[in-house]
Amino acid sequence: MIAVDHAFHPPKRLLNRIGAIALAAAAVVTAGVVLAPDRTWPAVLTIGLFLTGMGLAGVFFVALQYATGSGWSIVVRRVGEALAALLGTGAVVMVVALFAAPRLYCWWGGAVAGEPLRGFKAAWLSPAFFVVRAIVYFALWLAFAAAIVRESRLQDADADPAHSRRNVRLSIAFIAVFAFTVWLASSDWIMSLDPDWSSTIFGVYNFAGLFSGGLAALVVFVVWLRRLGPRGVGPLHAVVTQEHLHDLGKLLFAFSTFWMYIWFSQYMLIWYANIPEEASYFAVRLHGLWQPLVILDVVLNWVVPFLALLPRAAKRNPGVLAKVALAVLVGRWLDLYLMVTPHFQPGAPVFGVWELAAAVLAASVAVLAVLRTLTRAPMVPIGDPLLAESLRHHQ
Amino acid sequence: MTRRVLLSAFEREGDVLAATEACRKAGLKIVDVFTPYAVHGLDHAAGLAPSRLPWVCFALGLAGAAFKVWFEFWTSASSWPINVGGKPWNSLPAFVPVTFEVMVLFAGVSTVIAFLFVARLFPGRRAAVIDPAVTDDRFVLVVEQTDAAFDVAAVGRMLAGFGAVAIEERVEGGRR
């Protein structure tokens, strides 16, 4: 077995710099809440969804590896566990956004455009029930994330396979809970922005974007952690090989294509039926200056990864892989921006300092949270019985 | 045309990997390595060039998609225009699912056919098993004796050093 550096110390100067950027961005966002609340709050909701989605993708990635008994991915599991920490960051942002809920959700007062909500919608879209549901989703996600990460870290000390077995059961339960809650949460937090619009595939669409974006974040951090250290030798240098990158590249390729598949499924059914209550969503987004952004969304989330990662050599090249993953990450933010913002700016997008500050805040806080979490445990799960298999992984 | 080859049989996966690697580094011409199952890293050890099959897959997938878009346009907008739900005759979104399926069909089936063709696996072809043991538990490395400078004794000693359990010279005649 090869030597693994247990302690990870990200460069202090780097952390300080990112921290300064985060503070500056937070100050601008706070100013935006006062000066331009109509533009800042949708931007805050967008990054809340972005961070929560990244955290969920981290837990889902780890759960998927346990549930399928995967050996190859053990060396990158800690990065997935660190991404799961973004669930807490996302929860904080969503709680902040909740204070602006009456401004964000036009149904908050019980009526839409003077028409009172009726029947099931009146019961479902009531502020109290909405808040209770949000608490239940986050409580479930945070509890599963904490339990899975805890078992994984306990195993570092005693190398007892019982921890793996417990995590397999937890992971299977999490995946079932995750499927229901992501569907409901995306309806609650995004679809209800326009309470007259509905799309039955919206939950799947959000899952696809969430996991594709989460894999992109995983790739970016893994490639970075291979180099983040003295003389370009990071803690995952020589631990994560081309073979692991190849598999991560394949996953990113597959889920980016899955996202495109679901995106088109939603678009085509709405285009075919062409009934007003469904078509309103694309009617706003495919006109004026929103249209080029929708095209850019498809390009970043699918065209770029599909064409760039098609050759085998590209998936095994850390530089190419990281650049493609960065494009997908920007695409993930743009995808959420396009779900949220057109509802508030139906004519044309207004993009400026407030939206940019929120996005910078999300990115810098995410990097800080992930790097800090990575210092709390060995860089690879040293007690996992499958670690040796993962270190020797070959295509 | 005939050629003389040197067969060496191994009992362990690691041995055949090391022997293959050494033969490639010594500049010997490796004809093939026969194994009972897929051995990881063998393609690299034998210095095999990457497969060209993905290009067949890509080209035929593209051709299938292009053909299908043209065919759907021809059937629904040109040859016999049909009004479906008041949509334009040439409605690209409606063509996408079928185009996707036909692309997958062309790419998948053509790759399999191309593989069978390249590997000369035609119906009725008789299997040429170099040694029945490779279907059971042995690994056989085949090296060609390219010219008179090929020192059978020296190469045999080298292979034995890697744990070869049997070494045999063979003359292969005609087509194989």
- The pLDDT tens digits of the residues spanning B90-108 come to 889 999 999 999 999 999 9
* Predicted local confidence at residue B1, as pLDDT: 64
List all residues 6 or more positions away from A183 whose beta carbon is below 8 Å from its beta carbon: A202, A203, A204, A206, A207
Q: Which residues contact A284 (CB under 8 A, 6 or more apart)?
A: A290, A342, A343, A346
Chain A interface includes B134 (CB < 8 A) = no
With bands split at pLDDT 50, 70 and 90, how would you rate the model's confidence at A1?
Answer: very low
Break chain A into its structural domains and give their ranges. Answer: 12-109+122-378
Digit-coded pLDDT (tens) for A89-120: 999 999 999 999 999 999 998 888 888 888 89
| All domains of chain B in start order, with CATH | 3-49+128-172 (3.30.70), 53-118 (no CATH)
- Phi–psi pair at B129, nearest 5 degrees: -85, 120
* pLDDT of A238 higher than 90: no
Alpha carbon distance B138, A5 (integer Å): 40
Nearest by Cα to A32 from A24, A40, A20? A40
Question: Distance (Å) from the C-alpha of residue B55 to the closest C-alpha of chain A?
Answer: 10
Residues with Cβ within 8 Å of residue A193, at least 6 apart in sequence: A104, A105, A106, A340, A343
Contact A331, A300 (CB under 8 A): yes
- The answer, as to whether pTM is greater than 0.95, is no
Q: Name the minimum distance, in Å, from the CA of B155 to any CA of chain A.
A: 30
What are the helix (H) ranges across B12-167?
13-25, 42-45, 53-73, 92-118, 152-161
Q: Smallest CA–CA separation between B74 and chain A, in Å?
A: 20
A 268-297: CB under 8 A from B: 268, 271-272, 274
Confidence of residue A137 (pLDDT cuts 50, 70, 90): very high
Q: DSSP secondary-structure letter at B74?
A: I
Mean pLDDT (whole number) for B83-90:
86
Contacts of A288 (CB under 8 A, 6+ apart): A347, A348
Count of all residues that appear for chain B in the document: 176
User: Does this complex have an ipTM over 0.85?
Assistant: no
Determine, for residues A267 and B58 on separate chains, whether the beta-carbon distance falls below 8 Å: no
Closest CA of chain A from B67, distance in Å: 20
Contact B58 A268 (CB under 8 A): no
Q: According to the model, what pLDDT value does residue B105 have?
A: 96
Helix (H), strand (E), coil (C) string for A212-273: HHHHHHHHHHHHHHHHCCHHHCCCCCCCCCHHHHHHHHHHHHHHHHHHHHHHHHHHHHHHHH
Distance CA B77, CA B63 (A): 21
Residue B54, chain A, CB below 8 Å: the answer is yes
Mean pLDDT of A303-331: 96
Report pLDDT for A6: 57
Residue A26 neighbours by CB under 8 Å, 6+ apart: A361
Q: How many CB pairs under 8 A join A and B?
A: 19
**Any chain A CB within 8 A of the CB of B38?**
no
Cβ atoms A325, A317 nearer than 8 A: no
**Residue percentage of chain A with pLDDT more than 90:** 87
Residues 6+ apart with CB under 8 A from A65: A73, A74, A77, A80, A171
